Amino acid sequence: MPSKKLYTGSSILYLFVGGVLTLYILFRVWAKGKKIEINVEGAVTPNTETTPSVTQTIATPTGTQTIWKTSPPVTFSPTPRRNQPTYEEYLNWIGRLEGVRYRAKKDGVDKDGNPLFSIGYGHQIKKGEEYLLNATITEQKARELFKTDIEEIAKDVDSVVKVPINRNQKLALVSIRYNVGAGGFRSRNLLSTLNKGDYSGTAFIIPDFIVTSGGGIFNQGLRNRRIKERDLFLTPAP
């Protein structure tokens, strides 16, 4: 009789463990099917019924992020000159550094202390674009805003750089200009050093070039970005 009770107790234990494992496996399968890939403040999934899309995971300074690639793709013009970055290369590089947000977020203050807001790939919302403050934009709209910004910024860099630069140097400089603005890019000694033809001196300056935010407080994230831009500036172009 005692051995029979032991056998019955063991069977119950095995059945309990097996049941727990089965429930765990079923939960994992369910959770995988329900997994939300975008976990960024302000980021939303576009309506896939009206906007055919696929996802792409990109690296950002704070981890990884899923972005949406919409169809049809945004086309850029004019066509870049030979040995110059394509606009897709600008998007891939700056998109990794900026990240993408589909709703506006506060992004510093202007010289008068008024709050600034950005949306998409770091697009700063300007006067006349107030509708973007409460909008939820699509990936397509984010890329269209980026297109407008990058065309203007690339032309601005061309207008102030007076020495030959290769593809990677242009991409690095446009990335810096995108981040610090027209006035910031012309400030201090980065541009003047470059226009003397001192490429190594320029690379030396980049890591500490405007790495403060919000009242002059040092920002490690900005310095990490500058280090990446310095490394790109020093990378031989193909």
Residues acting as catalytic residues: 98
CA distance readout (Å), 14 to 2, 19, 24, 28: 19, 8, 15, 21
Report the amino acid identity of residue 166.
Answer: N
Q: List the beta bridge partners of residue 58.
A: 65
Angle 25-65-129 from CA coordinates, rounded to 5°:
135
Q: How far apart are CA 107 and CA 121, in angstroms?
A: 12
Both structure tokens of 198 = 């001192």
Give me the count of residues in the chain: 238
Whether the ω angle into residue 78 lies within 30 degrees of 0, i.e. cis, is: yes
Tokens 């990936």 correspond to 139
